[in-house]
């Protein structure tokens, strides 16, 4: 296998720009490792041939290429000093969009790039400022929908409770302490889908897809999301919303706060029965999975709106009927 050097890659990229000048191109500038990561994510959302990697030193040779429409800076800070600033400003004054890696990652992948975040970028970023009108409207929607669904699903929940009692010993309703908004602890309610002694030998353990601890009835309930029905009561109480990051157990919150930077930011919005991470990422049962899901949770936290909530709800309905995600 032939491995391209940065110089060979640039020459091929330059030929591509010249040969197909009628197509817009996104140019990624910066350290090779970071640039490649951004390239992989952008190429997943755009035609690969429209996303190219170059170095800061290549900017002068690219300034006459009309097909460059966007430059993404892969590094947190611009390298090369004043000369590079002048080169980038030359592109900007000719109508080329200049984006940071975090901006581009967010726009294309619809999640936040945690590695590219800094205290300054978080504090001064647009977003993370839900309006009082939005919060009030969302609460009214939550209460009305919770009341309606509790009434409509009451008979179904009675049947589910009876089936659980017949299937295995133990209570039909499972309660567990979770971490909610601003770190406040609350009790979440679900239909029991696992054996009564599921963690007796292991202690706190992440639930997994096709978990061996799941009961026969529980496997069906989890696949159809029916185990979540008692959480309508949590929404009515105000501990949860229909849309928001899934609430996690205190044990795992403390673990993940130590392992993942900015993990605690997900607790600045009310947790939800479903959320952006649940519909965009498959079932997670590790620190790495929690990291990827946090990127989606923070994207939701930054961009929360009624329109976004509706989109998440519609995607949740699709996920439920397809049997994917969690």
Tens of pLDDT along 83-112?
888 888 989 998 899 988 888 888 888 999
Tokens standing for residue 284:
């997670």
Map 57-109 to HEC letters: HHHHHHCCCCCEEEEEECCCCCCCHHHHHHHHHHHHHCCCEEEEHHHHHHHHH
Residue tagged 């659980």 (tokens): 164
Q: Are 17 and 25 in contact (CB under 8 A)?
A: yes
Residue 267: its pLDDT value, please? Answer: 95
**Which pLDDT band holds residue 8 (cuts at 50, 70, 90)?**
very low
3 has a pLDDT exceeding 50: no
- What residue spans of 238-305 are helical by DSSP H? 250-259, 276-280, 287-303
Residue 136: its pLDDT value, please? Answer: 97
235 has a pLDDT exceeding 70: yes
Domains with residue ranges and CATH for the chain: 6-109 (3.40.50.11410), 132-322 (no CATH)
Residue 189 DSSP label: E
- Range 60-64, long-range pairs (CB < 8 A, 24+ positions): 60/87, 61/14, 62/14, 62/17, 62/27, 63/87, 63/90, 63/91
Residue 261: its pLDDT value, please? Answer: 93
- Give the model confidence (pLDDT) of 254-312 as tens digits: 999 999 999 999 999 999 999 999 999 877 778 999 999 999 999 999 999 999 999 99
**Which pLDDT band holds residue 162 (cuts at 50, 70, 90)?**
very high
206 has a pLDDT exceeding 80: no
Question: Which of 14-18, 76-80, 123-127, 162-166 is the most confident on average?
Answer: 162-166
Residue 228: its pLDDT value, please? Answer: 95
- Give the model confidence (pLDDT) of 46-61 as tens digits: 666 678 888 888 888 8
Residue 1: its pLDDT value, please? Answer: 37
126-135, 157-166, 195-204, 267-276: least confidently modelled range: 195-204
**Which pLDDT band holds residue 319 (cuts at 50, 70, 90)?**
confident
Residue 254: its pLDDT value, please? Answer: 95
Comparing 15 with 237, which gets the higher pLDDT? 237
> Kind and range of the H or E element at 176?
strand 173-179
Residue 5 DSSP label: P
16-30, 112-126, 155-169: least confidently modelled range: 16-30
Residue 263: its pLDDT value, please? Answer: 96
Average pLDDT over the chain, rounded to whole? 85
22 has a pLDDT exceeding 80: no
């Amino acid at each position: 296998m032939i491995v391209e050097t940065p110089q060979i890659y640039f020459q091929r990229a330059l030929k591509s720009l010249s040969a197909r000048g009628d197509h817009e191109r996104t140019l990624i500038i910066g350290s090779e490792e970071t640039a490649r990561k951004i390239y992989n994510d952008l190429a997943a959302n755009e035609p690969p041939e429209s996303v190219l990697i170059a170095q800061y030193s290549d900017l002068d040779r690219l300034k006459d290429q009309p097909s460059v429409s966007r430059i993404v800076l892969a590094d947190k800070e611009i390298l090369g000093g004043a000369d590079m600033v002048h080169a980038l400003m030359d592109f900007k004054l000719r109508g080329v969009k200049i984006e940071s890696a975090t901006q581009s990652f967010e726009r294309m992948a619809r999640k936040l790039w945690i590695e590219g975040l800094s205290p300054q970028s978080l504090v001064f970023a647009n977003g993370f400022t839900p309006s009082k009108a939005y919060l009030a409207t969302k609460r009214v929607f939550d209460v009305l929908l919770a009341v309606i669904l509790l009434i409509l699903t009451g008979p179904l929940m009675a049947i589910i409770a009876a089936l659980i009692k017949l299937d295995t010993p133990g209570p039909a309703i499972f309660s567990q302490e979770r971490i909610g908004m601003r770190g406040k602890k609350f009790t979440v309610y679900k239909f029991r889908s696992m054996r009564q002694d599921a963690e007796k030998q292991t202690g706190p353990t992440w639930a997994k897809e096709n978990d061996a601890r799941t009961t026969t009835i529980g496997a069906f309930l989890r696949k159809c999301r029916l185990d979540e029905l008692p959480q309508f009561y949590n929404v009515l109480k105000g501990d949860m919303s229909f849309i928001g990051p899934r609430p996690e157990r205190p044990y795992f919150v403390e673990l993940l706060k130590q392992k993942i930077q900015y993990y605690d930011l997900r607790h600045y919005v009310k947790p939800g029965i479903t959320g952006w991470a649940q519909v965009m990422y498959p079932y997670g049962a590790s620190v790495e999975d929690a990291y990827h899901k946090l990127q989606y949770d923070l994207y939701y936290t930054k961009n929360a709106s009624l329109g976004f909530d509706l989109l998440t709800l519609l995607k949740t309905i699709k996920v439920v009927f397809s049997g994917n995600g969690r």
